[in-house]
Chains A and B, each alone.
Chain A
Amino acid sequence: MALVLTEEQSMLRDSARGLISDKAPVAHLRSLRDSKDATGFSRELWTTFAEMGFSGLLVPDQFGGSGLGCVEAGIVMEEIGRTLMPSPFLATAVLAASALSRGGSEAQKAQHLPKIADGSLLAALAIDEGAKHRPLQTKLQATRSGNGFKLSGDKAFVVDGHTADLLIVAARSAGGAGDKNGLTLFLVDPKAKGLAVERTAMVDSHNAARIVFDKVEVNADSVLGEVDQGFGLLEGVLNIGRGSVASEMVGLSEEVFGRTVTYLKERKQFGKPIGEFQALQHRAAELYIDIEITRAAVLKALQALDVDLDKAGNAVSVAKARAGTTATLAVQEGVQMHGGMGMTDQFDIGFFMKRARVCQELFGDSNFHADQLAQGKGY
């Protein structure tokens, strides 16, 4: 497979870019933040996303979606990264759609996937519990009770958890922290008794939630995949999420870099454009090279996910680790090269810096993924 977009993929990119840059430039995020919007994203825009087929991108045809792959999801994520549009796309259309279509029973698929495709159902994946992403350390307890389970414990950093109609929750049904066996995924109604959702406004003006489970009862039908064997399914879904977030970071990096290069050409100091100074030229060139190399690694990972999800782990770790360091560098250089203006709230650059930090933590930071790679290679 060539590491360039096909004609169809380029068309998808163009239509996503057109819509997002038109309807949701950075000013869109700014106004949601300033008005302390209760939802944190535009439901109207999500409806438009659904009409254009984006919400059902990863939903198989027979359930009303277009059955496309991770490369296509990554294309939309990259465009989201360019304007920082807050959207249920990642939580619902990428993570939940993947989890359900890969692990769901026929009944579960028939119940939820068409609603994801038509934009009427929002979902969220609840994984993290501590300050760092450590899925194997999952402690939220699933205790057998009757023909079902009782869930007790806490989840944090549940992206878009405050608006979800459906939660996908990773729980420990057997074993202890660090065990691959003994994890189970559950489909949970956020309105269930004993479940409390607290919206957390994050540094990047996107939304997440803290969720407390106090003996929340779920029946056997709510198990997604197999009891105790949820890790394989979870890891695949997380890898799709990681590749997608890496793609968002490529879009974010490229946008902030483009704004910075434009500024280098316009801003004059000492009587000439600052872009004439070799110290800045070389730093800009290095950043350009860094972004290009990351872009290739991310496309490689997205293709690998589509070819064989189970073998894509290393490529995904490379992509997420690279994208995290590249985005961190891009926003730091962006603020620095914009000088004092870069520090002002009035200027957009700071929004990119905040989002980059969140994307870095989401589903494992660069250190986590370098470590995954090292473990995979046995050292």
Chain B
Amino acid sequence: MADLEKFRAETRAWLEQNCPAEMRKPMASDGDTFWGGRNTKFSSDAQRVWFERMRDKGWTVPHWPKEYGGGGLDGEEAKIVRQEMAAIGARQPLTSFGISMLGPALLKYGTEEQKKEHLPKITAGLIRWCQGYSEPNAGSDLASLQTRAVGDGDDYIINGQKIWTSYANYADWIFCLVRTDPAAKKHDGISFILFDMASTGVSTKPILLISGYSPFCETFFDNVRVPKSHVVGTVNRGWDVAKYLLQHERAMISGMGERGVGRPLGQIAADSVGADAQGRLDDAQLRSQIASFEVDEAALAAAAERAVDLAKAGQSHPAFSSAMKYYGTELNKRRYEILMSAGGIDALEWESDRSKGGARPRAWLRTKANSIEGGTSEVMLGIVAKRILDLPGA
């Protein structure tokens, strides 16, 4: 315990010294997120300095082993780093699907060579990854995917189409599910493979969303040649890897609500609707909505903390991430409904400097995808019903 307290004090001092003031302010929009990658650009010097310092310390991913570019911290220490960063409002120095999704799957299923090749580039922000899972006819029913990989000597030739590929147009590499045995039952003929988005035959097309942004793409593979050594895990057993990764994806999406929007909802609402003589929000219904939202938000934060502690104690259920994904995304939608309501007319401006290009309504619309991406709320409830509650029926 004394060691941990010492570690906390050192961490606090280091962060105080090294985290630029600008990186302790809430992000104004998603544009302030640093994703890394070959074509990356920093939005400010402070963002660059903060990233580089954290990278050099191994703290872009504090809990990964040092040999792969992580910080080599154990669970308790990593928790302390998270807590101390949160205490000063420090931004994530690097956001990446490599960290939140591919990395955990590689650590569990990758060969030593694959880990050495890819993990350090993820922690150093050199390669930006995207996920090739969904297809036009394989969304919630993911295992019915049709993208084919046919063997040709030491390579596979890949043909097919993916959809909802987040940021595929900015990504350097893709982790992708392909059908390697069309004759097998649908879960049994799928492999998990990695390749460079610059490979011949790969093309992407952004999909414009109701938020006015294009975070998602259609992605096309036309005779893309990929070495067989890029398969992660066993050929035709990619579903195991995919499922494991999905748990991490769901945990990541359920945590989106916790990033918050900087100021407390009550204050944001007070800006537009004002307060009554007792200092209470001058809109009793809105006040009550905010209060009950904050009750649930605090409870979810406790549940997220408990999920980590349960996992550490070996007491967690593998399907619990579905429960958290469901609740977290529904809650995040509630948060943004309240934010829109609190902002009133001001929150409706779509194109103006004052509204920072309509940051709030765009974010509100973006949250509507939370309960669809990574498995819909209905799919999550189905997983809980069958795998945790053991209710009957296919």
Q: Which A residues lie at the B interface, using CB under 8 A?
A: 2-4, 261, 264-265, 272-273, 275-276, 278, 281-282, 284-286, 288-289, 292-297, 299-300, 314-315, 317-319, 321-322, 366-367, 369-371, 373-375, 377-379
Contact = CB atoms under 8 A, between A and B. Distances in A.
Given A261-B389, A321-B295, A285 B264 contact: no
A373 B295 contact: yes
B384 A4 contact: no
A317 B381 contact: no
Contact of B299 (A288, A293, A371, A374): A293
A299 B302 contact: yes
A379 B313 contact: no
A289 B323 contact: yes
Given A285-B384, A285-B385, A288-B323, A370 B275 contact: no
A265 B391 contact: yes
Interface string B223-264: 000000000000000000000000000000000000000001
B314 to A, nearest CB: 10
Given A3-B306, A379-B281, A296 B299 contact: yes
B378 A289 contact: no
B298 A314 contact: yes
> How extensive is the interface on chain B, given as a class?
35 or more
B295 A322 contact: yes
Given A293-B300, A315-B298, A318-B298, A285 B389 contact: yes
A284 B266 contact: no
Nearest to A257: B389
A160 B70 CA distance: 58
Nearest to A326: B299
Which 5 A-B residue pairings sit nearest by Cβ, starting from the closest? A379-B266, A276-B393, A297-B299, A281-B385, A3-B306
Contact of A293 (B266, B290, B303, B380): B303
A3 B279 CA distance: 35
Nearest to A290: B327
B303 to A, nearest CB: 4
B305 A275 contact: no
B291 A371 contact: yes
A373 B312 contact: no
Nearest to A319: B299
A370 B291 contact: yes
Interface string B261-303: 0001011011000010001110000011011101110111011
A160 to B, nearest CB: 29
Contacts of A295: 303, 306
A329 to B, nearest CB: 13
Given A3-B309, A289-B384, A292-B303, A297 B298 contact: yes
Contacts of B391: 261, 264-265, 275-276, 281, 284
A272 B391 CA distance: 12
Nearest to B304: A296
Contacts of A375: 280
B287 A374 contact: yes
B74 to A, nearest CB: 13
Nearest to B289: A370
Name the residue in A264, A295, A315, A378 with the highest tally of chain B Cβ atoms < 10 Å from its Cβ. A378
Nearest to B279: A378
Nearest to A1: B309
A374 B269 CA distance: 12
A276 B393 CA distance: 5
Contacts of B291: 370-371, 373-374
Name the residue in A289, A295, A297, A379 with the highest tally of chain B Cβ atoms < 10 Å from its Cβ. A379
Interface string B377-394: 010111011101111110
Given A2-B313, A289-B323, A314-B298, A284 B389 contact: yes
A379 B392 contact: no
Interface in B311-341: 312-313, 315, 320, 323, 326-327
B278 to A, nearest CB: 9
B313 A4 contact: yes
A342 to B, nearest CB: 18
B247 to A, nearest CB: 16
Given A2-B313, A282-B382, A370-B291, A318 B299 contact: yes
